[in-house]
Chain A
């Protein structure tokens, strides 16, 4: 009797044991599948884009490789994407030149010069909401406000400023975070030497917050670099590079816009160019992100 019950207990134990092993195994498998699902879009996109556009960017034949970036589209769009490449760089430079100082000084003001309270909350709330506004709405706003109301017209200025608006929430909030992470005693050390508030903020606080600042700026640049929607209504398009600041001479192409235009074009050979442009843009954004990462890690380690 006791022998049989022992055997029964042993049997039940192995069953529960193996059942535990089984649930453990099941969860591991589910998690692994989830991970595959999470990362697969990135690789699928990369494969899709690279399989069509790879030789456009890295090939050696005429019109490929470096020539893809140095020649204008020309008749029938058979040339390269110099217009879009230069356009994107110019738009980013303009957007950064306006958006970064505005956001950084704004963040310095509300973090260092105001007390916590409703004023600061309004700014933070507004910038958080702004971060969530769909980019097409920025495009519509850019058109209604900059192009139409301010009579800037379509072109590089309206396009660049629209992108600058889009950079504000990211740069403002990351700068704020970076400033908050600077220990109060560092500011006090400067003030206790007889420094003014401004001198302290400029020479000590911003300096200590610099790695965080750079990371935020680069992430914002990476984000707006790939935006199409804000540019559709504001930047226009061009087969050349802008020669003026106003009027039709200021119309400017950009890489995302060119991808969109080429992909939706029925001409077969534009597909390779669209995907080549997409690949180049992805590499650019990725590079910016990697640089942001390296800076934030390296400089942070050196400073703190």
Chain B
């Protein structure tokens, strides 16, 4: 399995915010070109697990971690490992659309410019490709100079996906990306995530069982910081091995 180039693996990961233990000894892996859903009720640590993968938890001063996260075989928390290179290769989409207060064009070129792309033609090409991948190009190609915040919520979220794809990361993290959107926009983004699987590894946090079923290949079910189940989504949903999973799927906890 380890011959996957961008194979991402979590080994015995435990995390704390201050004295509060959030994740307890979690091990799982994310294969190339799959969609993994991280499910669980609110406060179970799904977002913390996701944010451990691109070291975004490091922003919280009281955050502490034990165990390893291996990306391409190397521990991303090893001393000397560059967090900037890591985040360039692991993109992220957030719960609420959060475009920068700039034009649509500048939103997409922000990342590539950070990492040294200066050539205008190159940037134009990146903008077009990223927006096409995010299924937004046709809607905004005439308005690239307009402020991104003029777009609708669903469009903004697709712009955020395009922005994450602009630096061509092999892995894309998505933290409940549709929870603040209307059903039509949500459906569009779900479709998009499945589409993106061809080129990217997608890791999706969701509290929505149906969504996990529609979108994901494998699922991790977290409950109070523990990894209760980790397997093919179909297997988990059709025959949950643990009663907590069953309770969540049937809506008794959540």
Q: Which residue of B lies closest to A203 (CB)?
A: B110
Q: Is A14 at the interface (CB under 8 A from chain B)?
A: no
B100–A194 CB distance below 8 A: no
B100–A186 CB distance below 8 A: yes
A191–B98 CB distance below 8 A: no
Chain B nearest CB from A301 CB (Å) reads 10
Q: Which residue of A lies closest to B94 (CB)?
A: A185
Q: Which residue of B lies closest to A302 (CB)?
A: B147
**Per-position binary interface string of chain A over residues 161-195, scored 1 when its CB falls under 8 Å from any chain B CB and 0 otherwise:** 00000000000000000000001011011111111
Within 8 A of A (CB), among B101-121: 101-102, 110-111, 114-115
Given contacts A203-B110, A207-B100, contact A188 B56 (CB under 8 A): yes
Given contacts A207-B100, A207-B102, contact A196 B164 (CB under 8 A): no
Chain A nearest CB from B86 CB (Å) reads 8
Size of the A side of the interface (Cβ < 8 Å), in residues, is 21
Q: Is A229 at the interface (CB under 8 A from chain B)?
A: no
In the bound complex, what is the Cα–Cα distance between A203 and B100 (angstroms)?
9
B88–A193 CB distance below 8 A: yes
Chain B nearest CB from A15 CB (Å) reads 58
Q: Is B203 at the interface (CB under 8 A from chain A)?
A: no
Given contacts A115-B61, A199-B114, A303-B147, contact A193 B100 (CB under 8 A): no
Given contacts A185-B94, A204-B100, contact A194 B115 (CB under 8 A): yes
Point out the residues of chain A lying under 8 angstroms from B110, CB to CB: 190, 193, 195, 203
A194–B56 CB distance below 8 A: no
Point out the residues of chain A lying under 8 angstroms from B149, CB to CB: 302-304
Given contacts A188-B94, A191-B59, contact A196 B100 (CB under 8 A): no
Q: Is B167 at the interface (CB under 8 A from chain A)?
A: yes
B114–A193 CB distance below 8 A: yes
Point out the residues of chain A lying under 8 angstroms from B11, CB to CB: none
Q: Is A208 at the interface (CB under 8 A from chain B)?
A: yes
Point out the residues of chain A lying under 8 angstroms from B163, CB to CB: 189, 193
Point out the residues of chain B lying under 8 angstroms from A185, CB to CB: 94-96, 98
B94–A193 CB distance below 8 A: no
Point out the residues of chain A lying under 8 angstroms from B98, CB to CB: 183, 185-186, 188-189
Given contacts A189-B160, A199-B114, contact A194 B85 (CB under 8 A): yes
Q: Which residue of B lies closest to A210 (CB)?
A: B101
Point out the residues of chain B lying under 8 angstroms from A208, CB to CB: 100-101
Q: Which residue of A lies closest to B167 (CB)?
A: A193
Within 8 A of B (CB), among A117-145: none
Q: Which residue of B lies closest to A184 (CB)?
A: B59
Point out the residues of chain B lying under 8 angstroms from A190, CB to CB: 100, 110
15 chain-A/chain-B pairs, Cβ below 8 angstroms: A189-B98, A189-B160, A190-B100, A192-B54, A192-B56, A192-B87, A193-B88, A193-B167, A195-B84, A195-B114, A199-B114, A207-B100, A208-B101, A303-B149, A304-B149
* B residues whose Cβ falls under 8 Å from a Cβ of A: 54, 56, 59, 61, 84-88, 91-92, 94-96, 98, 100-102, 110-111, 114-115, 147, 149, 160, 163-164, 166-167
5 other A-B residue contacts (CB within 8 Å) besides A183-B98, A193-B166, A194-B84: A189-B160, A191-B59, A194-B87, A204-B100, A302-B149
* A residues whose Cβ falls under 8 Å from a Cβ of B: 115, 183, 185-186, 188-196, 199, 203-204, 207-208, 302-304
